[in-house]
Structure 1
Amino acid sequence: MEADLPEEELDEEEQLLRRHRKEKKELQAKIQGMKNAVPKNDKKRRKQLTEDVAKLEADMEEKHREELEQLKLTSKESKIDSVAVNISNLVLENHAPRISKAQKRREKKAALEKEREERIAEAEIENLSGARHIESEKLALILAARQLEIKQIESDGHCMYRAIEDQLKEHECPLSVAALRNQTAEYMQSHMDDFLPFLTNSSTGDVYTPEEFGKYCADIVNTAAWGGQLELRALSHILQTPIEIIQAESPPIVVGEEYTKKPLVLVYMRHAYGLGEHYNSVTGLVNTATENCS
């Protein structure tokens, strides 16, 4: 069986890809264990978990990328001739390949782009029957009925604020992510009694102290802390505008129903990325038939 073959009898690329697959599976198992260890309603620990998981995945991706690049560079050298292969292998064991900085940048860019395309293709295959695909199909139907479609927002910890920022542009009321975070923190600080009862210490289960609440608000401004229901409530008051959140499995949620302006519309996705929850914006669905007749 292939699994019993010595590593030296296997193709180098297959050895590397096999090890990468094994390491990814081990990391996913580790991440799942980490997720299971944190209660779903423990918002603070889940935020920290998200940061830890993101770092673990990023570190592994960078490691695998570098290893794949090194293998490709070695393979290029091996095509010169059999003598050069032997010499190159000896040199590469102890020294980095001697190439110009410009060439190194070009090769690295090409390798990264190829790997990105391969990852996208693999992810699409895996998601054809997965939770992400099912959720996306349901959301597409819900939005199409309202002549809307998803507008993708970057997944970087600021997605909720970026989605609000995008919606405000549509309403000709531009505000940056930084401004939205600052105003959210200021509003929550000045209305502490409205928000404090909904925040608890993950270790003790007690409601946040004023000091802990102050730290929570500072994190809104100074970190990429994810925004959620409390921050949306604050933003609806700041903007005096309803905010509607569309979901695949539940009816839409409207925050700030007391206001009469046209709502800002966000899409909440539970399975958008490996880390889970994500907010997107929406845009008007292009009517192809109308465009063709115009």
Structure 2
Amino acid sequence: MDELLARHKKETRDLVAATTGMRKQATKSTRKEVLRRIEQMEQDLKDRHERELRELTGEAQEAEEITPEQLLAQMNLSSETPAEKEPAAKTEPKKKRNRQKERLAKREAEFKKLQQEAENEASAQPNLKELELKNIADLCTAARLVQHNITPDGHCLFASIADQLQQRHNITMTVQELRTRAANQIRNDPDTFAPFLFDEDKMEVRNVEEYTDKLETTIMWGGDLEILALAREFDCPISVMMSGRAPLRVNENGQQPELKLVYYQHVFGLGEHYNSLRDMV
């Protein structure tokens, strides 16, 4: 029982920390969906904890539990002869404790306490969303760059590079064409890209064909691997501005004009995001 309760407490604290971060990162347009998702996550965890607790304690067995008063009454009745029996005095029935209900109420109180503690802790932390926005705005001003906003979805990296190619190379490419170009670069030179395909969970290199098929045919998010592949494809450097870190620069020996992107980690509720950086006019 102690082991189960300790695990439940840890899972509750982890969930509270995760949902607090989700609330802080939600934008005006995504807040409703984020809050709905948080409510569902909390209810799912609560339901699972209650089910596991019932399975461990045996709710059905508890329902049949006999109180000491009932046991004593049964013993007295069985020891009496018919002649000895007297009309039983009318007594008020003793209300049985619902221990399962008490446990669940206690757990609910613990969950609310943990949630409040996590919210208090989160409120004391710096607002990463606001900090990231300010840092990147300052970096853009210093570099005389302006952001061209890209829709935050699984295609944002490729859409940002498409905008950069149009602005700096006068090349028009669709998102799908860029996905195919990146996939072909990886397929044709797997040794160069193998370090990016290492799966730390499985401790092995992911299958190149499976990865590139997914890259080409789904809305899988792009990252450093795809940036390098497209930098080599178009023989140009690509730089990625980031808050609190030096810019990432890949393929610095490329001969064509540099493509410039900005990377967000905290601002968008869906997670990581890329925008295109155009020169200030």
- The TM-score, its normalising length taken from structure 2, stands at 0.55
Shift of 1:217: 0.4
Change over 3 Å in CA distance of 1:283–1:60 after alignment to 2: same
Q: Partner of 2:25 in structure 1?
A: none
Q: Partner of 1:176 in structure 2?
A: 174
Superposed CA offset, 1:233-283 (max 9, x none): 110110001101111111112111011322100001111211321111112
Aligned residue runs from structure 1 range 125-144, under 5 A: 130-144=127-141
Q: Partner of 1:21 in structure 2?
A: none
CA contact (8 A) 1:162 1:177 kept: yes
Aligned residue runs from structure 1 range 214-253, under 5 A: 214-253=209-248
Q: Partner of 1:32 in structure 2?
A: 18
Shift of 1:138: 0.8
Radius of gyration: which is bigger?
2
Q: What secondary structure is seen at the aligned counterpart in 1 of 2:275?
A: strand
2-structure distance, mates of 1:205, 1:221:
24
CA contact (8 A) 1:140 1:150 kept: no
Q: Partner of 1:94 in structure 2?
A: none
2-structure distance, mates of 1:183, 1:261:
17
- One-letter amino acid of the counterpart of residue 151, structure 2: E
Superposed CA offset, 1:116-149 (max 9, x none): xxxxxxxxxx9xx721111111111111112112
1-structure distance, mates of 2:35, 2:129:
24
Shift of 1:205: 1.0
CA contact (8 A) 2:260 2:278 kept: no
Q: What secondary structure is seen at the aligned counterpart in 2 of 1:272?
A: coil
2-structure distance, mates of 1:57, 1:154:
17
Aligned match for 1:205, one of 196, 203, 211: 203
**Corresponding position: 1:60 with 2:73:** no
Change over 3 Å in CA distance of 1:241–1:215 after alignment to 2: same
Shift of 1:285: 2.9
**Corresponding position: 1:195 with 2:193:** yes
Change over 3 Å in CA distance of 1:143–1:189 after alignment to 2: same
CA contact (8 A) 1:181 1:220 kept: yes
- One-letter amino acid of the counterpart of residue 244, structure 1: S
2-structure distance, mates of 1:280, 1:247:
11
Q: Partner of 1:276 in structure 2?
A: 271
2-structure distance, mates of 1:139, 1:244:
14
Change over 3 Å in CA distance of 1:188–1:31 after alignment to 2: farther
Structure 2: segments with no counterpart, 5+ residues: 1-11, 22-29, 41-122
Q: Partner of 2:259 in structure 1?
A: 264
- One-letter amino acid of the counterpart of residue 29, structure 1: L
Identity of aligned residues (%): 30
1-structure distance, mates of 2:161, 2:184:
17
Change over 3 Å in CA distance of 1:185–1:267 after alignment to 2: same
Q: What secondary structure is seen at the aligned counterpart in 1 of 2:150?
A: coil
Change over 3 Å in CA distance of 1:189–1:273 after alignment to 2: same
Shift of 1:182: 0.4
Change over 3 Å in CA distance of 1:203–1:245 after alignment to 2: closer
Q: What secondary structure is seen at the aligned counterpart in 2 of 1:175?
A: coil
Structure 1: segments with no counterpart, 5+ residues: 1-25, 36-53, 65-125, 287-294
Q: What secondary structure is seen at the aligned counterpart in 1 of 2:205?
A: coil
1-structure distance, mates of 2:212, 2:16:
31
Q: Partner of 1:164 in structure 2?
A: 161
Q: Partner of 2:183 in structure 1?
A: 185
- One-letter amino acid of the counterpart of residue 137, structure 1: K
**Corresponding position: 1:150 with 2:147:** yes
- The TM-score, its normalising length taken from structure 1, stands at 0.53
Higher RCO by CA contacts (8 Å cutoff, separation 6 or greater): 2
Q: What secondary structure is seen at the aligned counterpart in 2 of 1:252?
A: strand
Superposed CA offset, 1:144-183 (max 9, x none): 1121122211111111101000111102111110000001
2-structure distance, mates of 1:261, 1:236:
10
> Alignment length, in residue pairs?
173
